[in-house]
Amino acid sequence: MSNPVYISVVMGIYNGAAHLCETIESVLCQADVGLEFIIVDDGSTDPLAIQILSDYEKQDERIRVITKSNEGLTKALIDGCEAATGRYIARIDNGDVMLPERLRKQREFLDDHPNVAFVSCWTEFCGPEWEPLYTHRVETTVDGVDICPAKPDTFPVSGPSHHGSVMFRRKTYKTSGGYRYQFYFGQDWDLWLRLTEMGLFYACPEVLYRARLVPNSISGNNRVRQEQIGRLALEAYWCRQQKQPEMEILQRVAAIRPSSLQQEQAKYCFGEGEHFVGEVLRQNGDKRCLKYFRQALQRNPLRINTWVRILQASRIEKSV
């Protein structure tokens, strides 16, 4: 490689060809950084996604594709971080983009603040076609903050705006134990809680990451399970503080996996994601909300609240 590798960008993917090129390009266009881009193909079955990865790997020496059988995002991230060679590891999710200055600014802050364990930034959340929804602004002091939970049953007072917005030292990641395979869902907060035990947290006070909210995504369909795992991650944190073993908690976490019953429950919830995107757009006065409300009704014609929102949104369309 022409430049030293200071940052390893790690991404796990499963299919998702539609937005893959856009995500990859946002990484390759990062300014003033030496990087490698490790993409873990978690058993994709989409020939187009596979071809895109192959083409990019041939065209740019900074890209390294790891192909494996499908085991879920957590195992993909474990493999990707294990293969990383950079001083820092940064994350991104397929479908999202990072702004050109993101890696440089986060790296410079970590360079100047050895007591900070991990950094994030503000994240702009957008609809499937980059319709602006809202911005998650994380406030920290200029030198970072201690976000360790104050007492049991309370989460950290602050934290990353998005899983993909985070950067941390590879050495710190390994010392903390890294991503843990038991966390099929919600692997990020388990790691953040262990990183908080090793140093401060900082968020760059500007939008450096844009996240695309896609209806019926993994996060949307598994929100209840992610919340359950989040509580277990917190239990594990307090076990560590009290020098108690975590094994029983990790066994409970490991039992939370996708199942046919959960997939049926997800089907029952079809329309939730479209309705959410439509409602945020409606509150923003954006007439594009109607498209998502109509999509929600196509999935679930019995959603009364969506019918109500369509009537309310029609007034926006008439007033524009």
pLDDT digits (tens, 9 = 90+) for 29-79: 999 999 999 999 999 999 999 999 999 999 999 999 999 999 999 999 999
The set of residues, in sequence order, having a beta carbon less than 8 Å from that of 34 and lying 6+ positions away, is 1, 3, 4, 5, 6, 7
pLDDT confidence of residue 313: 86
Both 136 and 28 in one domain: the answer is yes
Query: What tens digit of pLDDT does each residue of 234-264 get?
Result: 999 999 999 999 999 999 999 998 764 455 4
* pLDDT number for residue 319: 57
Quick one: three-class SS letters along 158-187? CCCCCHHHCEEEHHHHHHHCCCCCCCCCCH
Is 40 within a domain?
A: yes
Q: Whole-angstrom Cα distance, residue 86 to residue 121?
A: 20
Report the interhelical angle of 272-283 vs 289-299 (nearest 10°): 160
Per residue in 71-89, is it b (16+ CB within 10 Å) or e — as a string? Answer: ebbbbbbbbbbeebebbbb
Residue 167 pairs with which residues in a beta bridge? 90, 119
For residues 68 and 214, membership in a common domain is answered with: yes
Cα 77 to Cα 72: distance, rounded to the nearest angstrom: 9
CA distance 309 to 275: 9
Whether residue 212 is found in the same domain as residue 281: no
In this model, does residue 279 exceed pLDDT 70? yes
pLDDT at 318 over 90: no
User: What is the sign of the dihedral through the CA atoms of 63, 69, 70 and 76?
Assistant: negative
Q: What is the mean pLDDT of residues 139-143?
A: 95
* Confidence band for 315, pLDDT divided at 50, 70 and 90: confident
Answer yes or no: do 298 and 210 share one domain.
Answer: no
Last residue of one domain, picked from the residues 191, 221, 251: 221
What domain range includes position 113? 7-221
pLDDT in tens, 125-136: 999 999 999 999
Same domain? 162 vs 298: no
* Domain assignment present for 110: yes
Amino acid at position 255, single letter: A
pLDDT at 293 over 50: yes
Domain assignment present for residue 37? The answer is yes
DSSP 201: E
pLDDT of residue 261: 44
Per the prediction, the chain carries an average pLDDT of: 91
Is residue 264 in some structural domain? Answer: no
Domain count along the chain: 2
Please check whether residues 180 and 276 belong to one and the same domain. no
CATH number at residue 143: 3.90.550.10
Do residues 37 and 26 touch, judged by C-beta distance below 8 A?
no
Q: Looking at the structure, do residues 87 and 191 belong to the same domain, yes or no?
A: yes
247 in any annotated domain: no
In whole angstroms, give the CA distance from residue 197 to residue 310: 47
Both 217 and 274 in a single domain?
no
- Whether residue 30 is found in the same domain as residue 134: yes
Tell me, what's the pLDDT at 222?
Answer: 65
Residue 156 is predicted with a pLDDT of: 86
Q: Which of 192, 221, 250 is the last residue of a domain?
A: 221
Residue 265 has pLDDT above 70, yes or no: no
Taking the CA of residue 220 as centre, how many other CA atoms within 13 Å lie in the half-sphere pointing to its CB? 18
The answer as to whether 240 is a domain residue is: no
pLDDT of residue 268: 46
Last residue of a domain, one of 221, 251, 285: 221
Residue carrying the six token digits 């030496």:
34
- Band (pLDDT 50/70/90 cuts) for residue 227 is confident
Is residue 244 domain-resident?
A: no
Residue 218: is its pLDDT beyond 80? no
- Contact (CB, 8 A) for 292 and 275: yes
In angstroms and rounded to an integer, the radius of gyration of the C-alpha atoms of the chain is 20
pLDDT for residue 5: 78
pLDDT of residue 255: 93
Tell whether 229 is covered by a domain: no
